[in-house]
Amino acid sequence: MSARGEALRQTGRADSLLPVSVTYESRGRLLLIGPEDRVRRAAALAAPELHLTLAVSEQPSDSQARDLEAIFNATAALESLTVRDAALEGYLGHFSLRVRSQGGESLLLERLCHGPQGHFDLVLDLGQRPLIALERPPFGYRHLADDEALAEAMEALAGMIGLFDKPRYFTLDSEACAFTARGVPGCSRCLDRCASDAIRVEAGQMRIDPFLCQGLGSCASACPTGAIHYREPEPEVLEDYPWRLLERYRAAGGHHPSLLIVAHETPLALEQLPGHWLPLSVDEVGSVGVESWLLALAAGAGQVCILTTGCGPTVRQTLEQEVAQAQFLLGGAGLPRDAIALWDGESPLPASVARLPLLARPVKGGKRERLFAAFDALRGDAGTDQPIPLPAGAPYGAVVLAEADCTLCMGCVAVCPTGALHSPGDMPALHFTEQSCVQCGLCERACPERVIALAPRLLPDTQARRSARQLKGEEPACCIRCGKPYAPASLVRRIREKLAGHSQFQGAAFDRLLMREDCRVRDVFEPLVANPLDQVKV
């Protein structure tokens, strides 16, 4: 047996045998919507267990069709409803169709047909344009532009009655999400990557609908904080398996291993691959991100390729962006940029490359910890000491502060989701830890003086990247009543200059600007407590 075959035989996957799942329930309530001739043609093919609703939303598609009389006769017992301005949403077992009545009233058709709590279970959309125009439409919905596959579609829909389980592919940690803070908009990378429209904003927070999610994984790869956590398989399993696979390949006498990431459903003729290419089979290639690719190289893989056969446009775009970022990092680490690449399944795979394992064991922790650990291990003597510029939108980098115009108001600190921007607390100062920055833009948008800009990059120096550095610091203004520091001296000075002639800030009121908040309150109320009649004057 070859070294590859021996390694694959010996290396088992510890995937979850009972994954967390969501359940769909379908009773066969099928909505047929489109031109009446096509709707009735579909109805004539319906299995008896389907409960049909015929909604006519367009003019007949072919008024001269030879079978018109036959299909109308076959479906004469079925009434059709004429609808306007149809808007469809939902998923298998839970579809809702909003339409407009002739009087202009907005109605939910499923409630008219199936009662106040009713829904359509299945939808066959026969209109010219799909009501749900998504790259990955929800389960239970199908759009047919013509009738060529009509019989096959009706047969498939008849098989979608009962209970169906699907893995719950993700977990979402809302506290780690950098989408918004205090009403300020931030990161929206996952929204742009979802091909099934499962990610939405509700009450100012990201929400993922588990019934719409189809597990493509691009959102988890794009999420800079790890707030979206892909769980099929768990990241720990995904990191551990290739490590053991590479180790056993070398133990079986193999040389110069490389890793090919491929989706389960993608056909792969293993015997046609060069013997040093080891397949890593996953549910979706979009779920495996930069940190996993770099860790595979650090584990001793000469190269990592991702097979893109069967990828939709959204997943492919995500992979292209992630690979571009990875290649910038590889260049900065002194490695060939093509050590991580996409493969179309047709062009020749790269030749073997020798690489020694650089890490003694798999790295634990969050996705950013794993990425930085892999980068630090891969960066050799040929790597640069200068900051590595990254493409716009990369989730690593610095913030650039126009120090002279910063008032140290700490608005940026208040919204920073990762603590990259922080204040030491004892002195008016703004500190920054580059390794924690996800380039979400919250600080840039929250800054009232507009003195913060983002700089996507990666700092190769591990110590400098992990250490907090001061962006700006000032002497504090100390309270004239208690002596405690309470604000930057320059800010207090600026406020006093602006309020110097104001009628409400004269005498003692002007002096209170030199006090802490608590001391100002005491300064106002102590005389009133001592002389209660003075309250009448107030």
Residue closest to 433 by CA, chosen among 418, 446, 443: 418
Residue 364 has a pLDDT of 86
Sheet holding 106-108, edge to edge: 84-89, 96-100, 106-108
Residue 17 has a pLDDT of 53
Angle at 386 between CA 384 and CA 387, to 5 degrees: 115
Task: Find the radius of gyration of the CA atoms of the chain.
Answer: 31
- Kind and range of the H or E run holding 208: strand 205-208
Domains, in order of start, for the chain = 21-166 (3.50.50), 168-230 (3.30.70.20), 235-384 (no CATH), 389-473 (3.30.70.3270), 476-537 (no CATH)
Q: Is the pLDDT of residue 354 over 90?
A: no
pLDDT digits (tens, 9 = 90+) for 84-108: 999 999 999 999 999 997 778 899 9
Residue closest to 42 by CA, chosen among 126, 116, 165: 126
Q: Is the pLDDT of residue 63 over 70?
A: no
User: pTM for the complete prediction?
Assistant: 0.87
* % the chain with pLDDT above 70: 96
Which amino acid would we find at residue 370?
A: R
Q: What sign for the dihedral angle of Cα 381, 387, 393, 399?
A: positive
**Residues facing residue 468 across a β-bridge:** 433
Residue 14 has a pLDDT of 58
What pairing do the DSSP bridges indicate for beta strands 429-433 and 421-422?
antiparallel
φ/ψ of 195, rounded to 5, equals: -85, -10
d(CA 518, CA 115) in angstroms, rounded, equals: 60
d(CA 491, CA 408) in angstroms, rounded, equals: 8
Angle between helices 3-10 and 235-251 (to 10 degrees): 140
Residue 236 has a pLDDT of 66
d(CA 227, CA 172) in angstroms, rounded, equals: 6
Which 3 state secondary structure label does DSSP give 377?
Answer: helix
Residue 528 has a pLDDT of 79
**Residues facing residue 33 across a β-bridge:** 55, 125
pLDDT digits (tens, 9 = 90+) for 406-435: 989 999 999 999 999 999 877 889 999 999
Which 3 state secondary structure label does DSSP give 283?
Answer: coil
Which residue's entry shows tokens 């802490």?
Answer: 516
Residue 18 has a pLDDT of 56
Both tokens assigned to 508: 């003692």
pLDDT digits (tens, 9 = 90+) for 237-283: 677 888 999 999 999 999 999 999 999 888 888 888 899 999 999 88
Residue closest to 145 by CA, chosen among 32, 34, 53, 29: 34
Both tokens assigned to 364: 């634990």
What pairing do the DSSP bridges indicate for beta strands 51-58 and 80-82?
parallel
pLDDT digits (tens, 9 = 90+) for 484-499: 888 888 888 888 888 9
Residue 26 has a pLDDT of 98
d(CA 468, CA 435) in angstroms, rounded, equals: 9
Peptide bond into 233 cis (omega under 30): yes
DSSP 420: S
Which residue's entry shows tokens 């989706």?
Answer: 263
Mean pLDDT estimate for the chain: 91
Residue 326 has a pLDDT of 97
Residue 489 has a pLDDT of 82
pLDDT digits (tens, 9 = 90+) for 427-471: 889 999 999 999 999 999 999 999 999 999 999 999 999 999 999
Q: What is the C-alpha end-to-end distance of the chain, expressed in Å?
A: 95
DSSP H helices in 223-287: 235-251
- Kind and range of the H or E run holding 369: helix 367-378
